[in-house]
Amino acid sequence: MVRFKRFSAKENESPASVNQSPVPSNPSDVAASAAVGLKGNASDALGHYVVEKLFKLILPIPMDTSYHSQTEVKGGQWLAIWNGAKTANGSFQGVVGLQGNAPDGNATTPLDLSGGRAEQIRDARFSIKVDARKSLALLRSIPNPEGWRQDLVKLGEKLDGLSWSGYLLDSTLTLTFRNRESNPVGTWLEMTRESEATQEGIPLYEAIAAGDFKALEKAMENVDLELLTLRHLESPLHFAARNGQDKMVGYFIRKGLDVDSRDRLGRTTLHRACWSGMKKTVQTLLEHNATVDARNEDNATAAMVAARMGHLELVQMLLQAGANLNLVDQGGNGLLEYAAGAGRKEITVHLQDRNATVRRPLHVAAGSGNLAKVQTLLEGEREIDEQDGWGATALLFAAGAGKPEVVSFLLKKGANPEISDSMGFTLVHAAAISGHEKVLQQVLALNLDLNPRHKHAGATPLDWALSKDDKILSKLLQENGAKTSWELGAP
């Protein structure tokens, strides 16, 4: 709980001694409400102004507001209730009902705040309550979320509720957090700082995405780089590397950003550039002494990322720059397992030609689509549901790599389709990213749960199919009842 208090310099008294007008009760069954009480001689236009401004201060969303003809609030009182959502011109709008006397004339005409109106606003009594779970449900109720809705939901998922009441110069704000064992002040400050950084960085990130160097230099005049390099955000350097803006990468490094700095998943700029396949940017980073074998939080190197994403030239470039051919990640998988797990046959062959160590031969054979090798290994001492260090099976490798013949063979031989890895990567996730309709059809026929949640951001199979812009597999999943994590809400 935080209290904001400031006494009047003129009368050395708080607004509480000035305005004792009651405020309407906040309904308990709505997403959010704002109640306002003004002194008896306040105009209807002023009441409308105050309740709308307070509501938008706590809920910065586009709103469609309308007055209810039937109301129980008394004169000098106003109540705003948010309990609905709709689309307008393709964008989200909150539906807000207002109770109280409606202002006469054009509500869009700017209100004259001269005379005693500023004092009346100062002395306005108010009570605002927000039910975080109901609010998030409304924000999620409209598909295709805008960036601001995603950001607001991300912040809101940390809260159970919010209440703010009192006067503008003497009020109490209470935040209830979902994680009762967390430090509430620290969590609140983190939320505030994250929101500030997100808003401040918008012009800069837009300039990077557009490749507009002049706009970037202008945006940098008003940016606190320290704020934008918080661990939970994607730094400008990481964003530029991911988008292949090598000139901007050099600019940020000269500005003092660490070429080996890490994001919230421990990824360096080299990891991000390799993920996107940005050859020139990778070269720029290596010229600025990026650590070639830097590890992310899973102990994966940039070369492993390049192998999984199918960027053979980058794998070759990194190996030439000194990347270790035989390093393994936290689960014991190396370059060959990364390439085969994504069905990257050309890279798998290249690595085998360089005598890269094979640690999971059954998995590598399954991901490579080498059915004869899979059959031979299973005729020996290999178990069909053998799991790698992450808990993945050969069946998961084959499905994710888009190898329908191997998938069919393993299922007929009794492979368990319900095994997922330690991160929650299921057979449905694997089929969703396979790029192969037949593989997904095979998996759909097993009647598995189509909405399992991965531990990374609670991603569903449909999320991953959409992220790959795979319209065929996305449509097929949706037709069978699959949902996005946005539709399902926080796991």
Q: Is 486 left (phi over 0), alpha (psi -120 to 50) or beta?
A: alpha
Average pLDDT, integer, range 192-208? 69
Which of 382 and 57 is assigned the larger pLDDT? 382
CATH 1.25.40.20 residue spans of the chain: 183-290, 292-358, 360-491
Q: How far is CA 333 from CA 131, 364, 392, 457, in A?
A: 45, 10, 11, 23
Token code pair at residue 326: 């035989």
Q: How confident is the model at residue 10 (pLDDT cuts 50, 70, 90)?
A: very low
Task: Specify the pLDDT at position 347.
Answer: 97
Token code pair at residue 352: 């085998």
Task: Say which CATH topology domain 183-290 has.
Answer: 1.25.40
Q: How far is CA 127 from CA 22, 295, 456, in A?
A: 10, 50, 38
Q: How far is CA 22 from CA 3, 154, 388, in A?
A: 20, 35, 65
Q: How confident is the model at residue 440 (pLDDT cuts 50, 70, 90)?
A: very high
What is the C-alpha to C-alpha distance for residues 93 and 146, in angstroms, rounded to an integer? 11
The chain-wide mean pLDDT, for the chain, equals 86
Q: How confident is the model at residue 184 (pLDDT cuts 50, 70, 90)?
A: low
Task: Specify the pLDDT at position 104.
Answer: 66
- Looking at mean pLDDT, say which of 60-74, 392-406, 453-467 comes out highest: 392-406
Q: Is the pLDDT of residue 329 over 60?
A: yes
Q: Is the pLDDT of residue 451 over 60?
A: yes
Which pairs with CB-CB distance under 8 Å and at least 24 residues apart come from 460-463? Answer: 460/484, 460/485, 460/488, 461/426, 461/428, 461/429, 461/431, 461/432, 462/432
Q: How confident is the model at residue 205 (pLDDT cuts 50, 70, 90)?
A: confident
Q: Over the stretch 89-144, which tens digit does the pLDDT of each residue have?
A: 888 999 998 888 777 655 445 555 555 566 667 778 899 999 999 999 999 888 88
Task: Specify the pLDDT at position 145.
Answer: 86
Kindly give, in sequence order, each residue whose CB lies less than 8 Å from that of residue 277, ignoring residues fewer than 6 positions away. Answer: 306, 309, 310, 311, 314
Task: Specify the pLDDT at position 306.
Answer: 98
What is the C-alpha to C-alpha distance for residues 213 and 234, in angstroms, rounded to an integer? 19
Q: Over the stretch 253-292, which tens digit does the pLDDT of each residue have?
A: 998 899 999 988 899 999 999 999 999 999 999 999 999 9
Say which range, 140-144, 255-259, 320-324, 340-344, has the weakest mean pLDDT. Answer: 140-144
Task: Say which CATH topology domain 360-491 has.
Answer: 1.25.40
Q: Is the pLDDT of residue 188 over 70?
A: no
CB 125 within 8 A of CB 23: yes
Q: How confident is the model at residue 22 (pLDDT cuts 50, 70, 90)?
A: confident
State pTM to two decimals.
0.75
Task: Specify the pLDDT at position 6.
Answer: 47
Domain with residues 292-358, CATH architecture: Alpha Horseshoe (1.25)
Task: Specify the pLDDT at position 199.
Answer: 59
Task: Specify the pLDDT at position 220.
Answer: 87
Average pLDDT, integer, range 349-376? 97
